[in-house]
Amino acid sequence: MKIAVEGCMHGELDIVYDTLRRLEEAEGIKIDLLLCCGDFQAVRNKDDLRCVNVPLKYRTMNSFWKYYSGQAVTPYPTIFIGGNHEASNYLWELYYGGWAAPNIYFLGFSGVVKFGNIRIGGLSGIHKQHNYHSGHYERPPYNEQTIRSVYHVRHYDVLKLMHVKEPLDIFLSHDWPLGITEYGNWQKLIRAKKHFEEEVNNRTLGSKPAAELLNKLKPPYWFSAHLHCRFPAIIQHGENGPTTKFLALDKCLPGRNFLQVIDIPSNPGPHEIQYDEEWLAITRRFNSIFPLTRRRFSIRDEQLDTQDDREWVRNKLNTRGVKPFDFVQTAPSFNPSNPVSNSSITRSCRNPQTESFLQLLELPYLLDSSNSEEVDRNQSSSQPGNTLDDEDIELPDEDEDAIDE
């Protein structure tokens, strides 16, 4: 199975799919799947664009809406995680994962799916310690603060992934696992990217929860993006333990290292994206403690037993099958002949995919809960660490020289 992996998409689906088509022709290969490591920008219309935290000059529609509306057809099954530039209102509708467009699957705030016999896990967002222990209290429309905090990784979602016991083949995180630079040519990295030097030397570059997950899950492959450069590394887990091949990829620009194709042994195809039994059991077990306010989330015993849920889910899937619920449009798509506006309100919407998924697992719908949340929101504005956060702002392109390779 040939899997193409891409760094930050930034809504440039046309360019990435064209590049892959040309690669297929030039190399005489067939791509089975595309994975994208965040900053996907699944922007359907102008309302979604207002929910993306991005400098004004980058606030453009790009090409996702064409695939959403059906005007363009996705040539490969595509799986993505979220980064720090997303239509967060839309991703929140699909918190548990789902089709963002036909054949384009969002893995969820955290998630695991199967593609053939390949098991793919991922964590959306970027890590900021000051929001790590909060619940998911952000709801659209977002303010200056929540438009940023909405994509900050939460302990709850990491804890779910820490409960995955069966081996994963591939893991995706938007920011790099903390300390990963030690396992690759960091000297070369800081020659090309001088502004990383201090963080590399202080061992502060990257995400601590991603590093914890890397040590726990030990997948053969781990892909990241965010820092807009290519960086390979090999992690040896213990003396005779397994190894992880890590690769960070650049963003999609001409002449940049934004794509990598890997070949993984697999069952003969055709393959399709499927629900993962263990992950659904974890989701079912954890939904009763889903933290939805700004209050600090903690549970007494961090190990939850998912065995009963596992059997319950297995029975369900045996009856229903493992195919995800079908894609449903929930908002009008951008209309280039009337580009000024679509509707005027950006509220969260109950996505039928999410509703069906929760019905399958016999779980309540919680994503529009607003209990006591206003109080929490008001309190939050006076707390430190919630002011504009320069680390969220992308590095200007002129600073970025492609690594010569």
Query: Least distance in Å: CB of 83 to Mn ion?
Result: 4
Nearer to Mn ion, 83 or 209 (CB): 83
Nearer to Mn ion, 52 or 214 (CB): 52
| Candidate ranges 46-54, 74-82, 114-122, 225-233; the one touching Mn ion (CB under 5 A) | 225-233
Query: Least distance in Å: CB of 131 to Mn ion?
Result: 16
Among 155, 226, 251, 294, binds Mn ion (CB under 5 A): 226
Query: Least distance in Å: CB of 81 to Mn ion?
Result: 11
Nearer to Mn ion, 258 or 325 (CB): 258
Q: Within 13 A of 120's CA, how many CA atoms are on the CB side?
A: 29
Query: Least distance in Å: CB of 215 to Mn ion?
Result: 23
| Candidate ranges 23-31, 82-90, 215-223, 231-239; the one touching Mn ion (CB under 5 A) | 82-90
Q: How far apart are the first and last CA of the chain?
A: 26
Q: Does 39 bind Mn ion (CB under 5 A)?
A: yes
Query: Least distance in Å: CB of 38 to Mn ion?
Result: 6
Query: Least distance in Å: CB of 41 to Mn ion?
Result: 10
Nearer to Mn ion, 36 or 313 (CB): 36
Rounded to the nearest 5 degrees, what angle is found at the Cα of 354, between the Cα atoms of 333 and 365?
Answer: 125
Identify which of 191, 149, 157, 195 has the alpha carbon closest to the alpha carbon of residue 173. 157
| Candidate ranges 17-25, 46-54, 220-228, 300-308; the one touching Mn ion (CB under 5 A) | 220-228
Which residue in this structure is represented by tokens 């989330």? 297
Nearer to Mn ion, 83 or 98 (CB): 83
Measured N-to-C along each axis, helices 277-286 and 307-320 cross at an angle, to the nearest 10 degrees, of 120
Identify which of 368, 359, 376, 265 has the alpha carbon closest to the alpha carbon of residue 316. 359
Cα distance between residue 7 and residue 226, in whole Å:
7
Query: Least distance in Å: CB of 124 to Mn ion?
Result: 11
Please give the size of the binding site for Mn ion, defined by CB under 5 A.
4
The bridge status of strand 78-80 relative to strand 98-101 is unpaired
Q: Does 148 bind Mn ion (CB under 5 A)?
A: no
Q: Residue with CB nearest Mn ion?
A: 226
Cα distance between residue 64 and residue 11, in whole Å:
6
| Candidate ranges 39-47, 89-97, 148-156, 305-313; the one touching Mn ion (CB under 5 A) | 39-47
Nearer to Mn ion, 252 or 281 (CB): 252
Q: Does 83 bind Mn ion (CB under 5 A)?
A: yes
Identify the DSSP state of 158: H
Nearer to Mn ion, 83 or 108 (CB): 83
Q: Is the peptide bond before 396 cis (omega within 30 degrees of 0)?
A: no
| Candidate ranges 60-68, 84-92, 111-119, 298-306; the one touching Mn ion (CB under 5 A) | 84-92
Cα distance between residue 130 and residue 179, in whole Å:
20
The bridge status of strand 170-173 relative to strand 78-80 is unpaired
Nearer to Mn ion, 26 or 388 (CB): 388
Cα distance between residue 79 and residue 120, in whole Å:
9
Are 37 and 172 contacting, i.e. CB atoms less than 8 angstroms apart?
A: yes
Q: Does 47 bind Mn ion (CB under 5 A)?
A: no
Q: Does 84 bind Mn ion (CB under 5 A)?
A: yes
Q: Where are the beta strands (DSSP E) in 70-132?
A: 78-80, 98-101, 104-106, 110-115, 118-123
Reduce the DSSP state of residue 194 to 3 states and report it.
helix
Q: Which residues bind Mn ion (CB under 5 A)?
A: 39, 83-84, 226
